[in-house]
């Protein structure tokens, strides 16, 4: 079976290489049969990668410990869900998963465009299969998941494996990495279409229209992955937070920031024929940041709880990035003539300028995060000392940037195209602005003195009111014409222009998330060693340890504290933070106890036992408003789904055209 897996990946490499050559040569020499064979080769790569992936998953599920990868990342005591998740839980398996996803995306692209963009498609396929070939080189010759354990050249099997990392044995980890991979890999598709457009010197925007939905779906996956990662950090790592500016966390955020800028920027190209160079740069930047994120996770150049061990694989990624970036820059510079803007910016107070500012701020935030992430590597290369930037550095830089982006989400969509009148500004922003100022003043009078918190709460109310007013004005107009109630009219309004109002919902999700982020300014913490019967306080809560137990099962040993929670003398129940020690991997992890409420979370982490092994170390936190991050994330995801639904007006227009054609044909026949 192991030979079949290795053979499948080797054949996939050969077929992917053939697909690249066949499509490029077929296009240059005008040989349609070569192009068709290259397209069919893409399907073959998917079949071969599915076979290889199926063999690895089968070995993980059945516990075939002859495989070095299975012995390293699985064991008999692991639940079935985590055995399956071990597919992407290690270096070699995750790269195979990357390749399988890319082959799946490429097959879908070929199938859905089998009758469209015939001039461009050979180059699109060539770019995708070139990327595929690179990853298959890694799968075959650098980090194969089909290596076998051997003694004296004889294949052997160990009795049991080391098991998946304890940090990954959490239900969300069966969803979080695949979502991020779907985002990372998916951005290769709009990049390939952009390169195809440049190579064929197309002056139009066909690649934008073709990849709009691809980009939105990929951005949805990336957003979901980032949110699940934050939730995992909050519930599993026990560090008392959802974001620590960890290098691998940053690696997932970088393409999200540039991808968000690209989604906004393409609207300018669609509506006004502007920012064509920007869009090429942004889509290329997003793709290469995805490759960079994959490199950071696997090379070991940065230290992270998320990253794999240091390996020599990094030099392959560096070479791929260098060649890819150089080729992309050459193409963009060589095709500048075909990327000229069709319109000019006429006013600073316009929707065009708001998109431009939005892009600049998103790219500035992206560069700041990238600089902070790579600074330890750069400092070590220059001075020999690895200097890491802490979370405070990121917060000092990113909080003002984030607030500026927040206010742009409120004002940008309400600016008019070309030029916005003073009357329009007053009509759209007067009452939200007054309400924001009143809220900030009221919070200041109530004793809140944190400047950024006051600004953030004010901006959140401002943006929320502008979004609500847009829905209300549109729904009221529909209700007046149709007699529908306001809720039904709101649904009708959204369905008529899903892209616009789905975008408003995404902005509302961002607002709710910022409410949760702002709560960080009011966090409270306490740490204490406790015997059974001892108490501690954090904020308005009193915590008493009523019991301390220990035990084990076949997978791990555990200590569990039973903490009785009271607030102002009222009993609120019991939380049970737990410390686990996994036997196979000999690593520890935490199971936190959380009392979640809309206003605040009470968060307890079992830090471990005291030096004399008699007392439990309890870390207690109060996190105000943190639940709104998860609520906002759900609203953002829901709004993105709305954007993907075809607008009702367009559907009816298309349907009317078909009916008209049918009647015309019927008249001719008569």
Q: Is the CB of residue 563 less than 8 Å from the CB of residue 593?
A: yes
Is residue 575, in this structure, part of any structural domain at all?
yes
d(CA 190, CA 258): 13
pLDDT-derived band of residue 285, with 50, 70 and 90 as boundaries? very high
d(CA 314, CA 44): 29
Q: What is the pLDDT of residues 424-439, one digit of tens each?
A: 778 888 899 999 999 9
Domain boundary among 125, 143, 167: 167
* Residue 541 main-chain phi, psi, to 5 deg: -100, 145
The pLDDT of residue 380 is 80
Which among 566, 564, 593 has a CA at the least distance from the CA of 578?
593
The pLDDT of residue 139 is 93
Q: Determine which of 29-33, 139-143, 656-660 has the lowest per-residue pLDDT on average.
A: 656-660
Residue 54, both tokens: 């199926």
Q: What is the pLDDT of residues 150-170, one digit of tens each?
A: 776 777 888 888 888 887 888
Q: Determine which of 220-229, 517-526, 584-593 has the lowest per-residue pLDDT on average.
A: 584-593
Q: What is the pLDDT of residues 533-573, one digit of tens each?
A: 999 999 999 999 999 998 988 888 889 999 999 998 899 99
Is residue 298, in this structure, part of any structural domain at all?
no
Is residue 508, in this structure, part of any structural domain at all?
no
Of all residues in the chain, the percent with pLDDT exceeding 70 is 93
Beta bridge partners of 524: 622
Half-sphere exposure of residue 53: CA atoms within 13 angstroms, side-chain side: 24
Which among 493, 511, 489 has a CA at the least distance from the CA of 502?
493
Is residue 11, in this structure, part of any structural domain at all?
yes
Q: Is the CB of residue 332 less than 8 Å from the CB of residue 277?
A: yes
Q: Determine which of 220-229, 353-362, 442-451, 632-641 has the lowest per-residue pLDDT on average.
A: 353-362
Angle between helices 422-445 and 451-482 in degrees, nearest 10: 130
The pLDDT of residue 667 is 41
The pLDDT of residue 129 is 96
Give the list of residues 6+ apart from residue 591 with CB closer than 8 angstroms, or none: 236, 577, 578, 579, 580, 606
d(CA 653, CA 632): 34
Is residue 321, in this structure, part of any structural domain at all?
no
pLDDT-derived band of residue 649, with 50, 70 and 90 as boundaries? low
Is residue 288, in this structure, part of any structural domain at all?
no
> For 193-207, what is the mean pLDDT?
84
Q: State how many domains the chain has.
A: 2
Q: Which domain holds residue 621?
A: 522-627
Domain boundary among 144, 167, 190: 167
The pLDDT of residue 205 is 72
Q: What is the pLDDT of residues 307-365, one digit of tens each?
A: 555 567 888 999 999 999 999 999 999 988 888 877 776 666 777 778 888 888 999 99
Helices (H), 273-390: 276-299, 314-334, 351-383
Is residue 612, in this structure, part of any structural domain at all?
yes
d(CA 399, CA 421): 31
Residue 155, both tokens: 């294949």
Is residue 391, in this structure, part of any structural domain at all?
no
Domain boundary among 139, 167, 195: 167
Q: Is the per-residue pLDDT at 266 higher than 90?
A: no
Q: Is the per-residue pLDDT at 525 higher than 90?
A: yes
Burial of 499 (0-12, 13-18, 19+ CB in 10 A): middle
pLDDT-derived band of residue 666, with 50, 70 and 90 as boundaries? very low
The pLDDT of residue 381 is 80
Cβ atoms < 10 Å from Cβ of 394: 18
pLDDT-derived band of residue 306, with 50, 70 and 90 as boundaries? low
Considering only residues 271 and 99, tell me which one the structure prediction assigns the higher pLDDT.
Answer: 99
The pLDDT of residue 664 is 38
């Amino acid at each position: 079976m192991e030979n079949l897996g290795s053979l499948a990946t080797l054949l996939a490499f050969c077929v992917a290489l053939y697909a690249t050559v066949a499509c490029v040569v077929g296009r240059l020499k005008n040989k349609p049969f070569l192009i068709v064979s290259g397209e069919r080769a893409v399907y073959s790569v998917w079949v071969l990668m599915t076979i290889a992936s199926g063999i690895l998953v089968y070995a993980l599920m059945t516990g075939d410990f002859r495989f070095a990868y299975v012995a390293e990342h699985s064991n008999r005591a692991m639940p079935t869900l985590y055995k399956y998740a071990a597919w992407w839980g290690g270096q070699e398996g995750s790269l195979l998963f990357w390749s399988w996803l890319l082959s799946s995306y490429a097959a879908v692209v070929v199938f859905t465009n089998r009758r469209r963009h015939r001039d461009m498609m050979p180059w699109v396929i060539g770019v995708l299969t070139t990327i595929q070939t690179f990853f298959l080189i890694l799968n075959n010759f650098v980090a194969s998941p089909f290596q076998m354990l051997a003694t004296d050249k004889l294949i052997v099997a160990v009795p049991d494996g080391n098991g998946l990392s304890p940090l990954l044995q959490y239900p969300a980890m069966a969803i979080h990495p695949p979502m991020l991979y779907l985002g990372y890999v998916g951005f290769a598709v709009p990049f390939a279409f952009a390169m195809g457009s440049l190579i064929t010197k197309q002056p139009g925007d066909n690649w934008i229209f073709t990849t709009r939905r691809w980009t939105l779906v990929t951005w949805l996956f990336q957003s979901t992955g980032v949110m699940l990662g934050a939730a995992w950090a909050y519930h599993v790592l026990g560090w008392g937070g959802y974001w620590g500016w960890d290098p691998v966390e940053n690696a997932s955020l970088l393409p999200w920031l540039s991808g968000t800028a690209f989604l906004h920027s393409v609207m300018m190209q669609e509506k006004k024929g502007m920012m064509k160079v920007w869009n090429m740069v942004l889509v290329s930047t997003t793709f290469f940041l995805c490759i960079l994120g994959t490199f950071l996770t696997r090379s070991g150049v940065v230290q992270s709880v998320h990253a794999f061990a240091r390996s020599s694989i990094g030099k392959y990624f560096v070479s791929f990035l260098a060649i890819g970036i150089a080729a992309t820059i050459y193409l963009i510079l060589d095709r500048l003539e075909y990327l000229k803007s069709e319109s000019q910016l006429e006013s600073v107070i316009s929707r065009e300028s708001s998109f431009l500012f939005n892009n600049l701020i998103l790219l500035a935030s992206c560069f700041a995060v990238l600089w902070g992430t790579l600074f330890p590597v750069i400092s070590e290369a220059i001075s020999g000392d690895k200097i890491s930037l802490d979370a405070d550095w990121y917060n000092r830089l990113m909080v003002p940037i984030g607030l500026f982006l927040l206010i742009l989400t409120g004002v940008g969509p309400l600016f008019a195209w070309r030029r916005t009148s003073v009357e329009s500004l007053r009509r759209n922003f007067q009452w939200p602005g007054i309400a924001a100022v009143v809220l900030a003043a009221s919070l200041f009078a109530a004793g809140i003195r944190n400047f950024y918190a006051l600004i953030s709460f004010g901006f959140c109310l401002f943006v929320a009111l502008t979004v609500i007013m847009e829905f209300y004005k549109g729904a009221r107009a529909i209700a007046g014409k149709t007699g529908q109630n306001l809720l039904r009219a709101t649904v009708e309004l959204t369905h008529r222009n899903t892209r616009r109002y789905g975008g408003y919902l995404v902005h509302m999700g961002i607002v709710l998330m910022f409410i949760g982020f702002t709560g960080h300014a009011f966090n409270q913490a306490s740490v204490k060693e406790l015997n059974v019967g001892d108490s501690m306080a954090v904020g308005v809560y009193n915590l008493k340890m009523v019991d301390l137990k220990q035990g084990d099962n076949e997978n791990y040993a555990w200590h569990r504290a039973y903490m009785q929670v009271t607030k102002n003398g009222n009993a609120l129940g019991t939380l049970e933070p737990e410390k686990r020690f996994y036997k196979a991997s000999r690593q520890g992890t935490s199971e936190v106890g959380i009392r979640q409420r809309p206003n605040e979370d009470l968060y307890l982490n079992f830090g471990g036992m005291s030096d004399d092994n008699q007392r439990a170390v309890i870390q207690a936190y109060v996190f105000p408003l943190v639940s709104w991050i998860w609520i906002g994330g759900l609203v953002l995801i829901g709004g993105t789904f709305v954007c993907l639904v075809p607008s009702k007006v367009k559907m009816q227009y298309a349907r009317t055209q078909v009916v008209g054609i049918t009647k015309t044909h019927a008249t001719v026949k008569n």
